[in-house]
Amino acid sequence: MTPYRHLVSTCSLVFGLLNLTFWCVPLLAIVLIRLLVPASRSRLQSTLNAIYRTAVRGNDWWFRHVLGYRWQPPDVALDSDRTYLVIANHQSWADSFLIQAAVVHNGHILKVLVKEELTRWPILGLIFNAYDFPRLKRRAADPADEPERRRQDADRIRQAC
């Protein structure tokens, strides 16, 4: 990889982190309000959705105008009354961004299945908590508990859907 590509990659990483960090300020306020006034939870959902969509638009802007990526997101007709499970095979680091570009702009907010360990990361943990992303455990501490861990993970996925 050329020095220029390294610079572009570094700038992309910094932009992504700054985008997430910027939106964590209002997210933190919303999470605190929800903790102090539990009845406000449903009224704050539209604000949460707007923050999510705006952060995705920031990523889209970077991809299109700085990195020069050109793609036509598929015209996905999703029924807003239904829940969809979206699966990325992570063949590339761009999978998540492309799925968001295709789905989020059409009205839906993605619920991402998160490894429980990631909820302890400062910025990501706040985002995962604010949007109630379902947490999954990778493995049970005791192999004998593995079937129960898998059942609990399946229950969390069903609840999210």
Give the C-alpha separation, 150 to 136, whole Å: 9
The DSSP secondary structure of 39-89, one letter per residue, reads: GGHHHHHHHHHHHHHHHHHHHHHIIIIIS------------TTS-------
Question: For the chain, what percentages of helix, strand and coil (3-state, to nearest 5) are there?
Answer: 65, 0, 30
Q: Does residue 160 sit in helix, strand or coil?
A: helix
The whole-number pLDDT of residue 138 equals: 74
Task: Work out whether strand 114-115 and strand 135-136 pair parallel, antiparallel, or are unpaired.
Answer: parallel
pTM: 0.79
The whole-number pLDDT of residue 101 equals: 77
Tokens of 142: 């005791």
| Residue 89 predicted with pLDDT over 80 | no
Mean predicted lDDT score pLDDT of the chain: 84
Q: What percent of the chain has pLDDT over 90?
A: 28
User: Which residues in 54-67 are b (16+ Cβ under 10 Å) and which e?
Assistant: ebbebbbebbeeee
43-62: pLDDT as tens digits: 998 899 899 989 999 998 99
117-152: pLDDT as tens digits: 888 998 889 998 898 888 887 777 777 788 888 888
| Residue 34 predicted with pLDDT over 90 | yes
Tokens of 33: 């309000």
Q: Are 110 and 88 in contact (CB under 8 A)?
A: no
Q: How confident is the model at residue 108 (pLDDT cuts 50, 70, 90)?
A: confident
The whole-number pLDDT of residue 83 equals: 66
Q: Are 128 and 114 in contact (CB under 8 A)?
A: yes
Q: Which residue has the higher pLDDT, 70 or 141?
A: 70
